[in-house]
Amino acid sequence: MKHLLLTASAVALVLPAHAAPLTFDFKDPKGVNNVVFQLDAPLESINGTASGVSGTVTLDPEKPGEAKGKIVVATDSLVVPNPMMKDHMLGEKWLNAAKHPEISFAITGISDIKKEGDKGEAKVTGTFTLNGVSKDLTVDARVNYLPGKLAERSPDKTPGDLLVIRSKFEIKRSDFGIKPGEATDKVADDIAISLSIAGSAPKE
């Protein structure tokens, strides 16, 4: 009986780590989370980054297909090295950061999951919102679940897990009502986006 109780206690201690969905917060105080965007027009190439990433993803590592969540990027966190170009980009005629302060991707479904240990690849479908226009989008994503690694990243050694997501995809600015058909010789219609983010799920 004593042996049975000990075994049950041990199982109860070990199992919950993967039994319930975890909510990963993507607001990263270290400022590592970032989005890179590239536009390659015939006359001008524009490269920039955005660091104002937030949002949450709820994921059960054993059932990744049921993940839900939303990643948000603050529009005014977009940076290009030239200050005048940055002012134009965030201004009323282009991204209008004052009126549309957020760019977001809300996950609606996950398919084609290839899982190998704590790493995986999948097609993530969601609603991408930019410049106040929302479109359904399916992107390839690579996910790396790092159980117990949060302590190595937090100054107060908070125990918990990390979820790293990488994704590369392309959108057209014309699809989102950003000056469609205008100035395409200097500002390309195609925008290559590369997302590199890590979320944390602290444990009580």
Which of 2, 4, 83, 116 forms a contact with other proteins (CB under 8 A)?
83
Per rule CB under 8 A, is residue 95 in the interface with other proteins?
no
Q: For residue 204, with 0-12 CB atoms within 10 Å meaning exposed, 13-18 middle and 19 or more buried, which class applies?
A: exposed
Per rule CB under 8 A, is residue 166 in the interface with other proteins?
yes
β-pairing verdict for 53-60 and 63-74: antiparallel
How far apart CA 110 and CA 108 sit, in angstroms, is 7
Per rule CB under 8 A, is residue 197 in the interface with other proteins?
yes
Catalogue the E-assigned strands of 9-159: 22-25, 34-40, 45-50, 53-60, 63-74, 78-79, 102-116, 119-130, 133-146
Per rule CB under 8 A, is residue 193 in the interface with other proteins?
no
Side-chain-facing half-sphere of 3: CA atoms under 13 Å: 0
41, 186 in Cβ contact below 8 A?
yes
Q: Looking at 17-25, 43-51, 60-68, 168-176, which segment touches other proteins (CB under 8 A)?
A: 43-51
Per rule CB under 8 A, is residue 148 in the interface with other proteins?
no
Which of 146, 168, 169, 190 forms a contact with other proteins (CB under 8 A)?
146
Which of 69, 122, 149, 161 forms a contact with other proteins (CB under 8 A)?
149
How far apart CA 63 and CA 135 sit, in angstroms, is 26
Closer of 2 and 30 to other proteins (Cβ) = 30
Q: Looking at 32-40, 132-140, 169-177, 178-186, which segment touches other proteins (CB under 8 A)?
A: 32-40
Which of 21, 23, 36, 94 forms a contact with other proteins (CB under 8 A)?
36
Q: How many residues bind other proteins (CB under 8 A)?
A: 27
Per rule CB under 8 A, is residue 79 in the interface with other proteins?
yes
Per rule CB under 8 A, is residue 90 in the interface with other proteins?
no
Per rule CB under 8 A, is residue 74 in the interface with other proteins?
no
Tell me how far CA of residue 53 lies from CA of 30, 40, 56, 95, 161, in angstroms.
Answer: 11, 24, 10, 17, 18
